[in-house]
């Protein structure tokens, strides 16, 4: 046997061995990615799935940033969620095709192109290519089962995703009537007051508390839901969250006689939900041991317990419950997440006292019972809002949501889109030129 023949045999053996090992690696990595993304009901990261999501979002964001109005941006970004699902399935199937092709090439003695032809024929159940060798035949059976399994998982995955989406959007859509489009906390309270429904607020806040719990569960388990936007460009689950939390904070700081316990509860659950989503979806670091704890509340200002206890609706028991719940939640947060929250808590609320005063005056015009002097109310409102504002604004910025009032800055400096004022209509002086209309 000549030296050249030995070299060729050695090279062929090496290439087939390497192909077999690489195929095995891709098969395992792809299978784990599928299991972590759509099978295991936990907030698990996957390099493959996360890379696809970031690439799809980055591509659409690149296009959206070149649009001159928010509505046109939203039209582009509305494709992100569905395209992430489709792209993940396509990439998983391609990776399985590559892995089976490498396996058949490594174990079956076929040439490189023939191996991939056999893999594609089996994976997509086409049946136009095959082999009688034992090893490739086993792999062909595996490939023939893999393709339908991936498609079946997708078929089962879509109803789950869109079922959770519909459950989320029902309340967001209803808020469009009672809180405006886009919704805004003061407008929410004003419309309830004008409609003689302000005493229904405790029941509404209890319903929103449950909504926040479902939001935390579904959006951390099925993370693509974060990118599936509302049917209207002027509605978004982040804005709905801020609206409800602001309405609860205003109720706590402005009234003495109206029910407040439910408002305190919705702020506790809403704040922790937004923090959990921010930590899970946008700060991906390994969890370290002995995580530092951020003040008394995650993502909150370093507030003394006495200050919180002075806010109506809070007492020592409420403060103790929130502190304990926050400590439990912190166990799953990374050190990087807590560092960013600590950095964010150094900033005071971005709402100015003048903006707050304008909102209170609007509520007075609606007949809302303002029972606390303005200075005291502002101090209490700013303390309460500082606990959820940072993470809420980060989510609004990252997801490029509608530039609603009191929702922070965006990548592009669009004018704020205000809801139609029910108070102005009630007083017979509706504004024809609503701020933000030029963004459409």
**Average pLDDT of 342-360?**
81
Q: Which pLDDT value is given to residue 303?
A: 41
Name which residue leads in pLDDT, 341 or 267: 267
Confidence category of residue 322, pLDDT binned at 50, 70, 90? low
Q: Which pLDDT value is given to residue 214?
A: 96
**Average pLDDT of 121-133?**
65
Tokens at 29, concatenated? 């990595």
Q: Which pLDDT value is given to residue 126?
A: 62
Q: Which pLDDT value is given to residue 170?
A: 96
- What CA–CA distance (Å, rounded) separates 11 from 102? 16
> Taking a C-beta distance cutoff of 8 angstroms, is the pair 357, 379 a contact?
no
Owner of token pair 């959770």: 164
Cβ-in-10-Å burial (0-12, 13-18, 19+) of 365 comes to middle
User: How many other β-carbons are positioned within 10 Å of the β-carbon of residue 120?
Assistant: 18
Model confidence over 1-21: pLDDT tens digits?
565 666 666 666 677 788 889
Tokens at 363, concatenated? 């509520």
Least confident piece of the model among 298-307, 326-335, 400-409: 298-307
Model confidence over 25-84: pLDDT tens digits?
999 999 999 999 998 888 888 899 999 999 999 999 999 999 989 999 999 999 999 999
CA distances to 53, 62, 164, 344, 393 from 278, in Å: 16, 22, 19, 13, 10
Q: Which pLDDT value is given to residue 109?
A: 65
Confidence category of residue 288, pLDDT binned at 50, 70, 90? very low
User: pLDDT at residue 136 above 80?
Assistant: no
> Taking a C-beta distance cutoff of 8 angstroms, is the pair 436, 418 a contact?
yes
Confidence category of residue 123, pLDDT binned at 50, 70, 90? confident
Which residues, other chains included, contact 223 with Cβ-Cβ below 8 Å and sequence gap of 6+?
43, 53, 280, 281
Least confident piece of the model among 139-143, 201-205, 373-377, 411-415: 139-143
Confidence category of residue 289, pLDDT binned at 50, 70, 90? very low
Q: Transcribe 270-330 into DSSP letters.
A: HHHHHHHHHHHHH---PPPSS----SSSTTS----HHHHHTSTT--HHHHHHHHHHHHHHH
Q: Which of these, 276, 383, 377, lies nearest to 319 by C-alpha position?
A: 383
- What CA–CA distance (Å, rounded) separates 89 from 123? 13
Q: Which pLDDT value is given to residue 308?
A: 53
Confidence category of residue 294, pLDDT binned at 50, 70, 90? very low
> Taking a C-beta distance cutoff of 8 angstroms, is the pair 73, 412 a contact?
yes
**Average pLDDT of 349-356?**
92
pTM: 0.84
User: pLDDT at residue 405 above 50?
Assistant: yes
**Average pLDDT of 331-335?**
65
Task: Supply the mean pLDDT for the chain.
Answer: 83
Q: Which pLDDT value is given to residue 290?
A: 33
Report whether the peptide linkage leading into residue 217 is cis, meaning its omega lies within 30 degrees of zero: no
Q: Which of these, 306, 245, 250, 310, lies nearest to 275 by C-alpha position?
A: 245
User: pLDDT at residue 291 above 60?
Assistant: no
**Average pLDDT of 403-424?**
93
Percent pLDDT > 70 in the chain is: 77
> Taking a C-beta distance cutoff of 8 angstroms, is the pair 219, 226 a contact?
yes
Q: Which pLDDT value is given to residue 30?
A: 95
CA distances to 37, 85, 92 from 44, in Å: 7, 16, 17
- What CA–CA distance (Å, rounded) separates 73 from 236? 14
Confidence category of residue 364, pLDDT binned at 50, 70, 90? very high
> Taking a C-beta distance cutoff of 8 angstroms, is the pair 408, 175 a contact?
no
Q: Which pLDDT value is given to residue 340?
A: 66
User: How many other β-carbons are positioned within 10 Å of the β-carbon of residue 337?
Assistant: 26
């Amino acid at each position: 046997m000549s030296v050249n023949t030995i070299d060729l045999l050695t090279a062929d053996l090496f290439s087939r061995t390497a192909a077999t090992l690489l195929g095995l690696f891709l098969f395992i990595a792809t299978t784990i990615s599928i299991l972590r993304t759509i099978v295991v009901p936990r907030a698990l990261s996957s390099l493959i799935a996360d890379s696809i999501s970031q690439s799809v979002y980055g591509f659409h964001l690149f296009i959206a940033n070149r649009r001159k109005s928010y509505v046109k941006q939203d039209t582009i970004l509305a494709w992100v969620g569905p395209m992430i699902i489709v792209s993940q399935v396509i990439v998983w199937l391609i990776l399985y095709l590559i892995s089976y092709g490498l396996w058949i090439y490594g174990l079956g003695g076929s040439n490189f192109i023939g191996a991939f032809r056999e893999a594609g024929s089996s994976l997509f159940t086409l049946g136009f290519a095959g082999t009688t060798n034992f090893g490739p035949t086993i792999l062909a059976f595996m490939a023939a089962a893999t393709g339908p399994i991936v498609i079946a998982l997708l078929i089962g995955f879509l109803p789950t995703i869109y079922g959770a989406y519909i459950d989320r959007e029902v309340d967001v859509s209803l808020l469009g009537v009672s809180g405006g489009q886009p919704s805004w906390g003061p407008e929410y309270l004003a419309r309830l007051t004008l409609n003689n429904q302000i005493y229904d607020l405790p029941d509404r806040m209890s319903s929103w508390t449950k909504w926040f719990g479902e939001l935390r569960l579904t959006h951390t388990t099925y993370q693509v839901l974060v990118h599936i936007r509302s049917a209207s460009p002027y509605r978004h689950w982040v804005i709905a969250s801020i609206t409800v939390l602001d309405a609860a904070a205003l109720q706590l700081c402005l009234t003495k006689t109206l029910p407040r316990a439910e408002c305190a509860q919705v702020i506790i659950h809403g704040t922790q939900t937004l923090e959990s989503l921010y930590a899970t979806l946008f700060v991906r670091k390994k969890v370290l041991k002995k995580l530092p704890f951020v003040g008394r509340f995650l993502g909150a200002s370093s507030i003394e317990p006495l200050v919180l206890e002075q806010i109506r609706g809070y007492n020592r028991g409420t403060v103790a419950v929130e502190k304990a719940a926050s400590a439990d939640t912190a166990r799953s947060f990374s050190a990087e997440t807590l560092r960013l929250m600590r950095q964010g808590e150094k900033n005071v609320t971005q709402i100015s006292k003048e903006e707050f005063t304008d909102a209170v005056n609007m509520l007075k015009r609606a007949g809302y019972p303002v029972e606390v002097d303005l200075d005291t109310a502002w101090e209490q409102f700013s303390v309460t809002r500082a606990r959820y504002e940072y993470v809420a604004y980060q989510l609004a910025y990252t997801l490029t949501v509608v530039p609603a009032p009191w929702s922070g800055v965006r990548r592009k400096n669009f004018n704020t889109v205000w809801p139609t004022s029910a108070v102005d209509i009630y007083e017979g002086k509706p504004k024809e030129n609503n701020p933000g209309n030029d963004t459409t």
